Chains A and B, each alone.
Chain A
Amino acid sequence: MSLRGLLRFAACLALALPALAFASGRTPKPEIIIANPGHCVEPTEIMRRNHPQMLLHQRDLTVHEGIRTSKYSLKGCVQCHASKTTGSVLGEKGFCQSCHAYAGVTLDCFECHASKAKLAGATP
């Protein structure tokens, strides 16, 4: 096959792929593993949309006023959502990173915050 033919084939394939994917339900989606299935602090739809606002609000309350309720705390998120295998919310299949990588959104929290759940039995 000539180079031009190859390119044309690749272009057609690229154009057709999304259609194929949608038709067969093969749209690539992030693999979200819920380590502890159950109820999050809010319904899933609200969590998906609003978790950044919740964290921002809680962060200012905690840092500046010392309010340390656990409901919307990042520590609480990590504690519950850390992977059972890696113990972390980061990593390829980590709860936070898998979705953030898919959406192409910077995940700055864990430059400073612990990404791993505190093990049971460790000193409080």
Chain B
Amino acid sequence: MSAGSNEGLSRRGFLAISAATLGGVMLAPGIRLIEIAAARAPDQPASGKVRWGLLIDTNKCEPGCDDCVTACATENGIKSTGHPRTDSQWIRKVELKDMRSGRTHSLPVMCQHCAEPPCVDVCPTGASFKRADGIVLVDRHICIGCRYCIMACPYKARSFVHQEISDQNPDVPRGKGCVEGCTLCVHRVDRNQQPACVEACTKAGHNAMIFGDLNDPHSEIAQRVAKYASTQIRADLRLDPGVHYQGL
């Protein structure tokens, strides 16, 4: 870190990084929650060297459990208005049954944070964009609400806000007339925390979700993806989603 970039770094921010670094060191090597290398000060931009991703183990995902969905709603201030067809869903539990074998799966589906996101391709204003670290976001300041990205997303990952919203979470601005979707809890990632869904899954003892840097060969997620068979949804489209599934 250069001396110049230190300017905006507050004492609290410094302490937070120290804590994150410590946390990384304290855990067993290879099973660090947040990689030390990825820990980032508030004044540093997201790095292109990082590719954030999720690994979801469907064998560990409990059918009927929706702790991840609830945690997402709490974290991002998503409340039901009693209109399920127009309410936003950033993450949902999908129940699957194989038509031939009858085998069942339960798994969460959210924005897959593609490396080649169709939503970014089709967005006329550039409001849909992919951050340097692979997180796909909507810049609500320039979203005109055309919904072309919803048409283009193969994962049904985006929602359109149909009504006025009040009492937002200060970290998660949301409002009528714009498109939104899972941000991978970017506001938490930026302060070196895990997405709320992953935290809730771990807390519930399922450990079905792992968050980490796919580009870091030492991260747990990269090691698991390298070691065990995993798939991506609609891999045939070759969009290279950042969300991987194991056990499907």
Q: State the CA gap A64–B171 with chains docked (Å).
A: 15
Q: State the CA gap A59–B142 with chains docked (Å).
A: 11
A50–chain B nearest beta-carbon distance, Å: 18
List B residues 141-194 near A (Cβ within 8 Å).
141, 164-165, 167-171, 173-176, 178, 186-187, 189-191
List A residues 54-85 near B (Cβ within 8 Å).
59, 61, 63-71, 75, 78-79
Chain A residues with CB under 8 A of B191: 68
Chain A residues with CB under 8 A of B132: 65
Number of residues in A with C-beta < 8 Å to the partner? 21
Which residue, of A66, A69, A75, has the highest number of chain B Cβ atoms within 10 A? A66
Indicate whether A75 sits within 8 Å of B170 (C-beta atoms), given known contacts A63-B139, A66-B133: yes
B187–chain A nearest beta-carbon distance, Å: 8
B133–chain A nearest beta-carbon distance, Å: 7
Q: For A64, give its contact among B139, B140, B170 (CB under 8 Å).
A: B139
Which of A1-9, A28-36, A94-102, A109-117 is the interface stretch?
A109-117
Residue of A nearest to B43 (CB): A69
Chain A residues with CB under 8 A of B44: 67
Flag if B176 contacts A64 (CB, 8 Å).
Answer: no
Q: Is B80 interfacial (CB 8 A cutoff)?
A: no
B45–chain A nearest beta-carbon distance, Å: 4
A81–chain B nearest beta-carbon distance, Å: 13
Q: State the CA gap A59–B85 with chains docked (Å).
A: 31
Flag if A66 contacts B167 (CB, 8 Å).
Answer: no
Residue of B nearest to A116 (CB): B167
List B residues 35-74 near A (Cβ within 8 Å).
40, 42-46
Q: State the CA gap A68–B42 with chains docked (Å).
A: 5
Indicate whether A112 sits within 8 Å of B45 (C-beta atoms), given known contacts A64-B129, A70-B10, A75-B171: no
Q: For A112, give its contact among B10, B40, B46, B174 (CB under 8 Å).
A: B174
Q: Is B131 interfacial (CB 8 A cutoff)?
A: yes
Chain B residues with CB under 8 A of A69: 8-10, 42-43
Q: State the CA gap A9–B90 with chains docked (Å).
A: 62
Q: State the CA gap A70–B165 with chains docked (Å).
A: 25
Q: Is B137 interfacial (CB 8 A cutoff)?
A: yes
Q: State the CA gap A40–B129 with chains docked (Å).
A: 33
Q: State the CA gap A119–B155 with chains docked (Å).
A: 36
Q: State the CA gap A39–B187 with chains docked (Å).
A: 27
Q: Is A93 interfacial (CB 8 A cutoff)?
A: no
Q: For B168, give its contact among A61, A63, A70, A114 (CB under 8 Å).
A: A114
Indicate whether A63 sits within 8 Å of B170 (C-beta atoms), given known contacts A68-B191, A70-B10: no
Flag if A78 contacts B170 (CB, 8 Å).
Answer: yes
Chain A residues with CB under 8 A of B40: 66
Task: Sample 17 A-B pairs with CB under 8 A, ordered by A number.
Answer: A63-B137, A64-B129, A64-B131, A65-B132, A66-B186, A66-B190, A67-B42, A67-B43, A68-B187, A69-B42, A69-B43, A70-B42, A75-B170, A111-B164, A112-B174, A112-B175, A116-B170
Other A-B pairs beyond A64-B139, A68-B42, 9, CB < 8 Å: A63-B139, A67-B43, A68-B190, A69-B42, A75-B170, A79-B170, A112-B173, A114-B173, A116-B170
